[in-house]
Amino acid sequence: MEMDLSLEQYETLLKLVYMGDWVISTLQAKDRAEDDPDNDTRFAEVVRHVFSYAERAGLGNIVQIDQNNGEPYLTREFEEESGLVEILEDYEDEVFWQSLIERLAHRDFFRHYGESAIASMAIEERIEKETPFHDKWANEFHENGIENLKL
């Protein structure tokens, strides 16, 4: 398979691959040790392959090769100038708030109705009855952030 990309499209592909690799690497670091034989290397192989075209595309200034392990990486300057750092920080922030809201709403929903009552609800009823819990936490965090959270 071959793809023809403009320089702008290839640079965008580099950014997308970088962000995808960042997400996958974060999950793999959390769940598996690097020496784990089950650690999926398919993602790293694709990253290496896509990044390997940078020099030929005239973007060798933004992709460099680590002298210790031979792995390609985007330069820190490019990460910052291209807005990748901000995009990933915004992504982390959004995932944090959405996950926190969903988990607290789910917890409160189960505490209020009980597992057996919820198990007998149709999906539409579950959504309807869980939504107020979701809205409560979304409003709380929108207005106050984590200021009112206590353990």
Q: HSE of 37 in the Cβ direction (CA atoms, 13 Å)?
A: 0
Query: What pLDDT was estimated at residue 2?
Result: 86
Contacts of 77 (CB under 8 A, 6+ apart): 62
Q: Kindly report which listed range (31-45, 57-71, 135-149) carries the lowest average pLDDT score.
A: 31-45
Express each pLDDT in 30-61 by its tens digit: 665 555 555 668 888 999 999 999 989 999 89
- Cα distance from N-terminal residue to C-terminal residue, the chain: 55
- Distance of alpha carbon 133 from alpha carbon 73, whole angstroms: 43
Q: The pTM is what?
A: 0.74
